[in-house]
Amino acid sequence: MNNRGREGEENAVIALKEAGLQILAQNFRSKEGEIDIIAKDGEKIVFVEEKAWSTFGIENLRYGLDARKRHKIIKTAKFFLSKNRQYNNMSIRFDVIFVENNSVTHLVSAFEEGV
């Protein structure tokens, strides 16, 4: 991870903590992919993709979070839940945190698992 990515993720973690979320894991990996941040928000487990871009604005987020990337995040989330069964009865949510020039935008329920 480059410096911009590390700094963006640190800003995202700070924003999540300030919003009252408990951080459970960072950079969780499986053979399917990686989830930047996994947090607990009340009775929900939140899988967070952090994007730190300076070239593209938030309106171009769809290019960095296409169907393939979302699919990898969902598969990795399922793997996390299979390894952490204490969370199996909780609701889940997929958020995106967009960091641009130290400005943080938290998109709650940015996408859902397709049926």
Assess whether pLDDT exceeds 60 at residue 2: no
Non-local CB neighbours of 59 within 8 Å, separated by 6+ positions:
none
Q: What is the pTM of this model?
A: 0.88
Non-local CB neighbours of 106 within 8 Å, separated by 6+ positions:
15, 16, 19, 95, 96, 97
Of the pLDDT bands very low, low, confident and very high (cuts 50, 70, 90), residue 61 is low
pLDDT digits (tens, 9 = 90+) for 10-34: 889 999 999 999 999 999 999 999 9
More confident residue, 9 or 36: 36
Q: Which domains does the chain have, with CATH numbers?
A: 3-111 (3.40.1350.10)
DSSP 37: E
Judge whether 49 and 73 are in contact, CB under 8 Å.
Answer: yes
Of the pLDDT bands very low, low, confident and very high (cuts 50, 70, 90), residue 59 is low
The average pLDDT across 21-50 equals 96
Concatenating the DSSP letter of every residue in 52-63 gives E-SSS-GGGHHH
pLDDT digits (tens, 9 = 90+) for 70-113: 999 999 999 999 999 999 899 999 999 988 877 888 989 888 87
